[in-house]
Structure 1
Amino acid sequence: MPIHRKHSTIAERTQALTLHACGTKYSEIEAITGIKAEAFKQLLRKAKQRGYLPGGPVKDEHVCDGAKSGRPKVITEAI
């Protein structure tokens, strides 16, 4: 059976980065936001690639969902 991962919301990601900037430990960030340490490290790396400076303001473009690869959904005209 496949493992389904919970995707964090933009608000949870923003909160996690803010907590990290305040010096909060990874275990406390996980307890508050539900984002595991390894996932947070990946989030932090991606946020930095998108222009985030630790301790600075967190913008939507730092924590937004990335583009998904794959075939786009077919849109049909409503009748």
Structure 2
Amino acid sequence: MQLKVINEESHVVGAAGGNWGDTTNIVYECPCGKGKVYYEHDDIPGYRNRNISCDCDDCNQKYDFGKGMATPKK
């Protein structure tokens, strides 16, 4: 299921050694509407990182999360 975007921010950043890239932070409404899903992505050469978390215990038990998506756990 597609998640509703609450807030989205992107920033161009520099890292050690002159590596330039961007960071993206997106906040979604969780499927039940009681919490939020946080997507954080750092796309800097040599420092790539991605994290997705949900602050709703009910939805964490029921769904696996991806960028903008929630799929039922099997």
The TM-score by the shorter chain falls in which range? Answer: under 0.3
Q: Normalized per residue, which structure has more helix? A: 1
Normalising by the residue count of structure 2, what TM-score does the alignment of the two structures yield? 0.19
Please state which structure has a larger fraction of its residues in strand.
2
Structure label with greater radius of gyration: 1
TM-score (norm: length of structure 1)? 0.18
